[in-house]
């Protein structure tokens, strides 16, 4: 499967699960635990069959990513638990716009500065967030 197809498929699944979790009636941290446990059960067989060389992994970055992801999941699921079905989609759009802007900012730092394309992209993201949340 192409990387673009995997990215689009991930977008569909990442777009669907929060809407389902919002309807679950679970509180924020409980829904984060449910999601984590179910994800672990679903992913573990694939991970165990392809362990590779764990000794060469950058464990500091892997553990750091896990901590940051945990904070994000707790924040996101806390929002999902309190959002109404009427406002969950606009809050979700806001999160996605900020999420998309984060690696773009990383790219600016890594590449040494902002260019017109990125500036226009940020402006378009702000406009998209405003229009999609109205």
For 76, counting Cβ atoms within 10 Å of its Cβ (0-12 exposed, 13-18 middle, 19+ buried), the class is buried
pLDDT band per the 50, 70, 90 thresholds, residue 100:
confident
Q: Which residue has the tokens 């969950």?
A: 88
Residue-wise pLDDT for 27-79, tens only, equals 999 999 999 999 999 999 999 888 887 888 899 999 999 999 999 999 999 99
pLDDT at 113 over 90: no
Task: Tell me the chain's radius of gyration from C-alpha atoms.
Answer: 17
Pick the residue with more confidence: 51 or 24?
24
Q: What is the mean pLDDT of residues 108-119?
A: 89
Contact 20, 89 (CB under 8 A): no
Contact 29, 79 (CB under 8 A): no
Q: With the CA atoms of 57, 60, 65 and 67 taken in that order, what torsion angle do they form, in degrees rounded to the nearest 10?
A: 140
């Amino acid at each position: 499967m192409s990387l673009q197809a995997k990215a689009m498929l991930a977008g569909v699944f990442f777009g669907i699960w929060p809407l389902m979790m919002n309807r679950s009636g679970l509180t924020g941290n409980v829904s984060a635990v449910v999601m984590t446990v179910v994800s672990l059960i679903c992913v573990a067989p694939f991970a165990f069959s392809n362990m590779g060389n764990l000794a060469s992994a950058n464990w500091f970055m892997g553990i750091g990513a896990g901590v940051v992801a945990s904070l994000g999941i707790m924040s996101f699921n806390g929002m999902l638990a309190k959002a109404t079905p009427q406002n969950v989609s606009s809050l979700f759009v806001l999160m996605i716009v900020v999420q998309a802007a984060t690696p773009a900012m990383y790219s600016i730092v890594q590449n040494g500065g902002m260019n017109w394309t990125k500036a226009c992209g940020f402006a378009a993201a702000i406009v998209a967030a405003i229009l999609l949340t109205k």
